[in-house]
Structure 1
Amino acid sequence: MSDPFSDLMAFQRETEALSQVAGRLSWDQETVMPRGAAAQRSDEMAAIEGVLHARRTDPRVGEWLAAIDGAALDPAGQANLRHIRRSYDRTMKVPAKLAAALARLTSVAQGVWAEARANDDFAAFAPTLREVLALKREEGAALADGGNVYDALLDDYEPGATAESLEAMFGALRPRLVALRDKVRGRPAPAALSGQFDEAAQMKLARHIARTFGYDMSRGRVDKAVHPFSSGSGNDVRITTRTAAEDPFNCLYSTIHEVGHASYEQNIDAAHLLTPVGAGVSMGVHESQSRIYENQLGRSRAFCGYLFGQMRETFGDIGIADAEAFYGAVNRVHGGFIRTEADEVQYNLHVLLRFDLERALIARDLEVDDLEAAWNDRFEADFGYKVDRASNGVLQDVHWSVGLFGYFPTYTLGNVYAGCLHAALRAARPELDAELSSGDLAGATEWLRAHVQVHGGLYEPRALIERATGRAPDEGPLLDYLEEKFTAIYG
């Protein structure tokens, strides 16, 4: 006699494997796919999404779920059941035709966005974005089933979160961030890095730093893309970065950031491979790993001392006299337009802008034709200067082109989680700075592996952070860390 849970998990492992194949197609599209293949790739993505949608709505899944006694399962089994049921219930609400149309359109839209960004031409992208937005509104309405449409989309990336709860958290963040930013602006800034830095040498150093942070290159690779990202899980987790001759920090810290994402996936208990538990539990938790790797560890005074030596070995004289000046250059608060290049003090203000705009788009309070002007007005109000071109404004992020509405707030939520984890890590490892100063990340990354990464999707997001830190997540530790750090740097 067959066991419904065993049958369900065997079926699910095949679905997870096909999903990984779809992810590899996306990685290929961002890195090495010939430009002329875009139209064919959209058909390929639509075809595989159709297969995945059919599997996720297969009547047998509903029958298995109804037949399984969850109370008889171990914690991993219960967690897998929870994830499968959530996915099944959500997928059943979205018509197959709509799912395939979204996959086809967003594959094409990504290329349209990239070309419009290169030409600083929002008008060239606007018609495609209108189509994407219309489909995402339709999908959100189907998922919400009479409830809040934006919350239904947000749940894809951060289960259990609501716009109302995030708005309260972000509202508490904003005043202290703005006050800190304004104080810093009134003080002399540390000297910035200047010069030209060979891009091949940047990539070589980036791969070394990736390994230093524990990235397993036998199960991963580092390539270049327009927008850095991490892709995959288990034994095939790939990252991308980007280079600019005048800005090696962009390459190095993008790499460290993506290594945080990749290490999360590589370090999940191998017993969960190709199951729902065998992936990061949410984008907020995922972002907590990338941000704590990049900022609290990678931009710390201790690690900057190590990186200063590595930079001098790689590039020779870099025009900065000592490790302390280098630490100031790494953490320099600066004007700029690009979210991914923003300093720690201002980064979350970039996210809050996007959070408010995309909620307005989904709620029909803002339309695509007015989006560029709304972005530019909000940016000037928040940052005090005007957006100079579309690629520095509304066209800078890939997210909306591929339908990721509800994704942006998880970046700031990840920063909040990272603040909580960093406080707990420092309490657990008083020797942390001594380790970081010698380029030894093993203690820090092992603590994160044991307390967060190994569990994958075993626990719900907030519960996972609370287990790791001993407290419910809130914005306090992040704000305290930022105020202490930048008050010291800027005197």
Structure 2
Amino acid sequence: MSALSDLLAFQKETEALSAIAGRLEWDQETMMPEGAAEQRSEEHAALSSVLHARRIDPRIGDWLEQARGEAQSEAQTAMLRHIRRDYDKTQKVPARLAAEIARVTSVAQGKWAAARAADDFKAFLPWLEQVVSLRQEEGEALADGGDRYDALIDNYEPDMTAAQLGQMFGTMRPRLTALREQVLDRPEPAGLSGSFATDKQMEFTRALAVAFGYDLTRGRLDLSVHPFSSGSGSDVRITTRVSEDDPFNCFYSTIHEVGHACYEQGIDPAYALTPLGHGVSMGVHESQSRIYENQLGRSRAFAGWMFDQMKALFGDIGVADADAFYRAVNRVRKDFIRTESDELQYNLHIMLRFDLERALVSGDLAPADLETAWNDRFKADFGYEVPRASLGCLQDVHWSVGLFGYFPTYSLGNVYAGCLNEALRRDVPDLDAQLAKGDTTAATTWLRSNLQTHGGLYRPEEVVARACGTAPTAEPLIRYIEDKFTALYGL
């Protein structure tokens, strides 16, 4: 046995244990009995300790040194790069801290859900304070003298910094804000009306998942408070949620999560249970969910097909024709919830969260002041007041589970999706004719072969650039949004 083969065999077991940890998190969100939360937190902490010990096992350092000249393929070289990066990062985080983060965030997630349901930020505050403190400590350890928020971003988007993101957001914000003001001066299109039974919504949302290429023989579709995707390879699970007076909440949450799931299902099977066997970054991951949901799912062509399907299933849905349905799918209105936001305003939601969590991690904003800071910033950015915490700082699960540095990858994913959409439409000129029939095959096949199959083989910006033929920038996304909403609202 060579050092490389020993290392990869050891890594395969670590990847398998990590997948089990992910399955525990899926279970907690979907099926775990409410009374099991405390025990589950101990299970998370125990498994986290085992994984942490494996990731700092001194044999990894020895194997990495011995395997330097053994890599004989691009994939093996990339695997060593990922293992080295993970090893170096994990060594900086004490085992005690890793276990405590796992334990506290497991409990905090349930506390957040209860506080959100009760609109009670103060009930969640003690747990938020613990999570912020732990992530600050982790960021300090990882940064090694540098910026601790940059160190946390790097957990989700390697090589990205807050300064780079801030510059990108600074380019996007003025144009998006100006367009938003123009659009909101126009009459708001009508939405759907009626009651949309849960069983029929789930029937149609499963059909949508399959239409976008989700393989249900290797996945599941369940309900949760906050939709998410979990897993990789041959076990990739998604969730959605249902509101009987707003079926778009269910349908577009599903399409979004299918984008994540298809990325994982589309990775070369040879990379299963290796460092290359999952998405390379959350920004690239989000590019898949956003292009599935928006550039494909909210396109005029696909919306026309959806209109016919929904009329057949639900009868009268409150809009007269496919054009009115398309306007309803893409209507811009004053609202509070990020996950239900239109494409025009979505990135403004992310910029708010980016600035607030950056301030939390740096210590410039105390957790006790978060609700007030959120409400003040929302009023300044959107022009109206947040009426309750569930529509404000408690609406997202991310901070309860310690995902600081994660939010900006949503907007980065939108930027990548804008670039991919231009390249896709260049290569598949009759795409709209296919989408009008409900056929996404050409689009999803293009994305699978040009991006998804590579998994973690290339660096994040590199894999997008290879698919598009040019380095990613925000301009294609902004141009797409401006063109779409200018036409929709007759500006």
Deviations 1:54-74 (A, max 9, x none): 100111111101111257431
Measured in 2, the distance between the counterparts of 1:218 and 1:187 equals 46
Measured in 2, the distance between the counterparts of 1:70 and 1:93 equals 26
Partner SS for 1:221: strand
Query: How do 1:314-333 and structure 2 match up within 5 A?
Result: 314-333=313-332
Partner SS for 1:52: helix
Answer yes or no: is 1:168 the counterpart of 2:155.
no
What TM-score do the two structures reach when normalised by structure 1?
Answer: 0.99
Matched residue, 1:338: 337
Measured in 1, the distance between the counterparts of 2:41 and 2:352 equals 30
Q: Are the aligned partners of 2:89 and 2:142 in contact in 1 as well (CA < 8 Å)?
A: yes
Measured in 2, the distance between the counterparts of 1:471 and 1:323 equals 35
Partner SS for 1:278: coil
Measured in 2, the distance between the counterparts of 1:310 and 1:50 equals 49
Query: How do 1:165-204 and structure 2 match up within 5 A?
Result: 165-204=164-203
Partner SS for 1:193: coil
Q: Are the aligned partners of 1:83 and 1:276 in contact in 2 as well (CA < 8 Å)?
A: yes
Letter aligned with residue 187 of structure 2: P
Measured in 1, the distance between the counterparts of 2:338 and 2:166 equals 19
Answer yes or no: is 1:28 the counterpart of 2:27.
yes
Measured in 2, the distance between the counterparts of 1:71 and 1:50 equals 31
Measured in 1, the distance between the counterparts of 2:199 and 2:179 equals 37
Cα deviation for residue 371 of structure 1 reads: 0.6
Partner SS for 2:230: strand
Query: How do 1:257-336 and structure 2 match up within 5 A?
Result: 257-336=256-335
Matched residue, 1:59: 58
Query: How do 1:346-361 and structure 2 match up within 5 A?
Result: 346-361=345-360
Measured in 1, the distance between the counterparts of 2:348 and 2:399 equals 18
Deviations 1:181-200 (A, max 9, x none): 01101112221112211011
Partner SS for 2:7: helix
CA RMSD of aligned residues (A): 0.7
Matched residue, 2:218: 219
Cα deviation for residue 89 of structure 1 reads: 0.2
Q: Are the aligned partners of 1:177 and 1:346 in contact in 2 as well (CA < 8 Å)?
A: yes
Matched residue, 2:229: 230
Structure 2 spans left out of the alignment, 5+ residues:
none
Percent same amino acid at aligned positions?
67
Measured in 2, the distance between the counterparts of 1:353 and 1:319 equals 34
Measured in 1, the distance between the counterparts of 2:96 and 2:190 equals 55
Matched residue, 1:114: 113
What TM-score do the two structures reach when normalised by structure 2?
Answer: 0.99
Letter aligned with residue 237 of structure 2: R
Q: Are the aligned partners of 2:201 and 2:247 in contact in 1 as well (CA < 8 Å)?
A: yes
Cα deviation for residue 39 of structure 1 reads: 0.2
Measured in 2, the distance between the counterparts of 1:44 and 1:82 equals 30
Measured in 2, the distance between the counterparts of 1:416 and 1:15 equals 33
Letter aligned with residue 472 of structure 2: P
User: CA 1:197/1:70 → structure 2, altered by over 3 Å: closer, same or farther?
Assistant: farther
Q: Are the aligned partners of 2:191 and 2:318 in contact in 1 as well (CA < 8 Å)?
A: no
Letter aligned with residue 207 of structure 2: H
Measured in 2, the distance between the counterparts of 1:71 and 1:362 equals 41
Q: Are the aligned partners of 1:41 and 1:107 in contact in 2 as well (CA < 8 Å)?
A: yes
The aligned length equals 490
Q: Are the aligned partners of 1:70 and 1:78 in contact in 2 as well (CA < 8 Å)?
A: no
Q: For structure 1, which segment, 141-150 or 180-189, has the greater mean C-alpha deviation from structure 2 after superposition? A: 180-189
Measured in 2, the distance between the counterparts of 1:422 and 1:113 equals 36
Letter aligned with residue 221 of structure 2: V
Measured in 1, the distance between the counterparts of 2:318 and 2:50 equals 55
Matched residue, 1:452: 451
Q: For structure 1, which segment, 63-72 or 31-40, has the greater mean C-alpha deviation from structure 2 after superposition? A: 63-72
Matched residue, 1:153: 152
Deviations 1:279-303 (A, max 9, x none): 0000000000000000000000000
Measured in 2, the distance between the counterparts of 1:414 and 1:52 equals 29
Matched residue, 1:43: 42
Cα deviation for residue 321 of structure 1 reads: 0.8
Partner SS for 2:63: helix
Answer yes or no: is 1:466 the counterpart of 2:465.
yes
Matched residue, 1:80: 79
Measured in 1, the distance between the counterparts of 2:92 and 2:260 equals 30
Deviations 1:78-121 (A, max 9, x none): 11101100000000000000000000000000000000000000
Partner SS for 1:211: helix
Matched residue, 1:138: 137
Q: Are the aligned partners of 2:359 and 2:365 in contact in 1 as well (CA < 8 Å)?
A: yes
Q: For structure 1, which segment, 186-195 or 165-174, has the greater mean C-alpha deviation from structure 2 after superposition? A: 186-195
Answer yes or no: is 1:476 the counterpart of 2:475.
yes
Cα deviation for residue 334 of structure 1 reads: 1.0
Moved over 2 A (4+): 70-73
Measured in 1, the distance between the counterparts of 2:399 and 2:82 equals 25
Matched residue, 2:248: 249
Matched residue, 1:384: 383
Letter aligned with residue 14 of structure 2: T
User: CA 1:72/1:226 → structure 2, altered by over 3 Å: closer, same or farther?
Assistant: closer
Partner SS for 1:277: coil
